[in-house]
Every structure is written in structure tokens, then in C-alpha cells.
Amino acid sequence: MQLRYSFRVYPGAGQRAALAKAFGCARVVFNDALRVREEARAAGLPFVTWAELSKRLTAAKKAPERAWLGEVSAVILQQSLRDLDTAYRNFFDGLKGKRPKMGAPRFKSKRDNRQSIRFTANAAWQITPGGKLRLPKIGDLKVKWSRSLPSTPTTVTVVQDAAGRYFASFVVQTDVSEVLPKTTPEVGIDLGLGHFAVLSDGTKVDSPRFLRRAEKRLKKAQRDLSRKEKGSISRNKARVKVARAHARVADARREFHHQLSTRIIRENQAVAVEDLAVKGLARTRLAKSVHDAGWSAFVSMLEYKAARYGRTFIRIGRFEPTSQVCSACGVKDGPKPLSVREWTCQACGTVLDRDVNAAVNVAKAAGLAVSACGAQVRRAPLPAPRSEAGTHPKRPTRLVREQTGIPGL
């Protein structure tokens, strides 16, 4: 499978100027190609192909008003056309029902939060013996290598985020040598807000609430931004401070997701999760907490890591009544409000933890070999049978002593 490894890069002043020029050229080529296709659609003409757009790009580089396009690598301009093709393909596939619906391609702006360029092998980029990233017409960039690449990368994408940070994102191909040895445990996961994840073995992972913990600092930074004059240098500095504050929150959340998902995949042979309606929950009063949890990103990590390390990943339907069914006897007890965190099954008298019971039911719905023994269940005190109720006459002393192992006199 293909994986993407991202590393922080630190360009110098001249390299930042060269990257800004490359970002601008790629953006202009993308917008010009989009404009050509939109004009052809409005005029009722056939769809303009990628080959025709490539010819027009070559002709535009020779024109005086677009001659500056030749100052950057030609590969990033061609890749910008490829990106436009991909955007159109995703849009049409969404209309046909082949994938979730996406909006039509839009024009890019230099004020967008993310700017990027991509180099393929044709651009002759390389990693130098000194560990720097050498890019054509940009120079050698200093890279903060946090880990080694598993194989030779095929492409590299240089990204500038809203906080002004630069990253080099490598695409590599992995092999079957990374498959982990088989293990026995199988686990179901119930995602929530009180606890981020509850496993069917009874493990509960607290929700870090990164956004909630950073709200005070974010509020101050955004208040300072709102007081700056639009278009001023001080406003741009305040905007960068806000972006960096949000980036710290996003980085902490991503690191938490990576660590937890890796641990779960390494310790379990099969993992089952529920397909949550995140978009619907994000429109409720719990929207901020739902976005802060980041369930979709976490589940995506579980899915690709399971495929990478030879584990089984199962996603059950969102309409499974996992919180309504007793994991001990299987009787459906009906819906319960969110305030009910523990309930007693009316059929078998088992006291169930709501979240752990749901995690066990998620695993059972996925067909995993999980029992309710690890679900932190206990028998509720039942009324004594009628034959055992009431006052009984005292038994003979001899019988009592014989029952206790003391020989009678």
C-alpha cells in the first residue's frame, strides 16, 4: 500500500521566496485551466482534455505576459493540471454515486490556508547525502527527519500551512514485511465524548479535549485579531498567531490518535467500530465536542493501519442498537437517554455499564469472538424465593455441628 510521510522543513529566506513563486505559478496554471473549461462549458463546447490544456500551457510560457512561468520547474505546473483533472473526476464520480458527493472545482487564492506544489521523479529531486531535500530551482532544504523512510519515495509535496510552516510530504510504497505476527485478542470499540474510546475488554480511554483546554488561549488570540485593522501588517501577525494556536491543538490531537490507534492495532488481531453519523452529530449542540474528538480521523487511522499490519478491520452499521441490547442475554431493552450510564437488564438482572456494553455489542455485531465476561457486568440482587422467605424454626444443635464439621456430643 502507499503511505505518506510528512516532515518539517526549514527553508532560508531565498528559498522561501522561491517557494512562494512556485506556489503562485502552480496556482495561476490551475486557475487558467479551470477558466478554460468553465468557458467551454458555458459556450456548449466539448470538455477540454488534459492534453489540450498541456499544449496551451506550453504556448502560454512562450507568451510575454506568461513568460515568468518558465522560472519554476515545469513538473509542478503539469502536476497542477493533474490536480484539476482529479478534482473534476471526484466531482463527476460524486454525481454518479461512485463516491460521496463533492463540490465542483473552485478557483484558488493566494490567501488560501494551504499552498502546495508536487514534484515527481521526472523533476530529478533527491535527498542529499547530508540529509537535505534538493528541489529544482529552489535549492537544498533543511529537513527535520523524525524517522527513516521505509522505501524510496516516488513523489514529494511541499506544503505551506496557515501558520507559515513548511512540510515535505513523501509518498512511499510499503511491502508485506511490516505485517505483524498474529495474536488472539479481538476488540470492539465504542466511541464517545465522556470517554473517547471504550473497548470491549473494559478499557476506558479518557477524552483529552484538546480544544476545550486551549479555548482560553484561542479566545485571547482571536480577540486580538478582531481588533487589528484589515490589511495591516499587525493584522497579518495576529492571524499567524491564531493559526499557530489552532495548529498546536490539531497536532496534539493527531499525535493522540496515532498513539492510541497504533496501540490498539498492535495488541488486537481484529478491531470493530461503529459507523457514526459524524456530520449529523456536528449539527447538534454537541458540535464543538464532536469536532474536538475527531472520530473520523481516528477511525481512518485504524483502517489503514489494520491493512498495513495485517489486521482485520470491521465497520458495522450505524443503526445497530448497541446501547439497547443486553450483551449478556441478548434481550433488547429499548432506548435510553444519555444520562443513563448504567442500567439493569429486566430479563436476566445483569447490571451493565452503558459504554462497555455497547463496545461488546459492536464486537458481536461484527462477528468477533467476544463475550460479555469482560464487560464489567454483575448480577443485581434478586428477591429471595418464597420458600426461603420468612422465619424458619431453629434446627437441632446436632445437625448444625455436623454441618460445620464438629462431631456431635
Task: Indicate the DSSP class of residue 123.
Answer: G
Please give the pLDDT value at position 386.
45
Please give the pLDDT value at position 18.
97
Please state, as a whole number, how many other Cβ atoms lie within 10 Å of the Cβ of residue 17. Answer: 12
Mean pLDDT across the stretch 28-32?
A: 96
Dump pLDDT digits (tens) for 213-258: 999 999 999 999 999 999 899 999 999 999 999 999 999 999 999 9
pLDDT band at 370 (very low <50, low <70, confident <90, very high): low
Is residue 99 helix, strand or coil? coil
**Active site (annotated) includes residue 274:** yes
Q: Is 22 exposed, middle or buried (0-12, 13-18, 19+ CB in 10 A)?
A: buried
Residues 6+ apart with CB under 8 A from 223: none
**Active site (annotated) includes residue 251:** no
Percent residues over pLDDT 90 in the chain: 64
Asked if pLDDT for residue 403 goes beyond 90, the answer is no
pLDDT band at 371 (very low <50, low <70, confident <90, very high): low
What average pLDDT is seen over the chain?
87
Mean pLDDT across the stretch 25-53?
A: 95
Mean pLDDT across the stretch 289-297?
A: 93
Asked if pLDDT for residue 342 goes beyond 90, the answer is no
Please give the pLDDT value at position 197.
93
Cα–Cα dist 200/362, whole Å: 8
Nearest residue to 260 via CA among 247, 271, 246: 271
Asked if pLDDT for residue 384 goes beyond 90, the answer is no
Asked if pLDDT for residue 392 goes beyond 80, the answer is no
Mean pLDDT across the stretch 181-206?
A: 91
Mean pLDDT across the stretch 31-41?
A: 96
Lowest mean pLDDT among 126-140, 193-207, 270-284, 334-348: 334-348
Q: Which three cell numbers stand for residue 111?
A: 490567501
Asked if pLDDT for residue 62 goes beyond 60, the answer is yes
Residue of 325 and 84 predicted with greater confidence: 84
Cα–Cα dist 7/187, whole Å: 33
Asked if pLDDT for residue 191 goes beyond 70, the answer is yes
Please give the pLDDT value at position 375.
46
Asked if pLDDT for residue 83 goes beyond 70, the answer is yes
Residue of 103 and 371 predicted with greater confidence: 103
Q: Which of 190, 201, 303, 353 is catalytic?
A: 190
Is residue 263 helix, strand or coil? helix
**Active site (annotated) includes residue 355:** yes
Mean pLDDT across the stretch 200-208?
A: 91
Please give the pLDDT value at position 357.
87
Q: Which of 274, 292, 303, 353 is catalytic?
A: 274
Asked if pLDDT for residue 107 goes beyond 70, the answer is yes
Cα–Cα dist 204/115, whole Å: 39
Q: Which of 83, 292, 303, 355 is catalytic?
A: 355
Global pTM value: 0.82
Mean pLDDT across the stretch 356-381?
A: 68
Please give the pLDDT value at position 398.
41
Lowest mean pLDDT among 203-217, 283-297, 306-320, 340-354: 340-354
Q: Give yes or no for a contact between 354 and 195, defined as CB atoms under 8 angstroms apart.
A: no
Please give the pLDDT value at position 378.
42
Asked if pLDDT for residue 169 goes beyond 50, the answer is yes
Cα–Cα dist 328/33, whole Å: 61
Asked if pLDDT for residue 9 goes beyond 60, the answer is yes
Asked if pLDDT for residue 85 goes beyond 50, the answer is yes
Residue-wise DSSP of 142-187: EEE-SS--SS--SEEEEEE-TTS-EEEEEEEE--GGGPPPP---EE
Please give the pLDDT value at position 212.
92
Cα–Cα dist 224/241, whole Å: 10
Percent residues over pLDDT 70 in the chain: 89
Handedness of CA 284, 290, 295, 296 (dihedral sign): positive
Mean pLDDT across the stretch 281-301?
A: 91
Asked if pLDDT for residue 122 goes beyond 80, the answer is yes
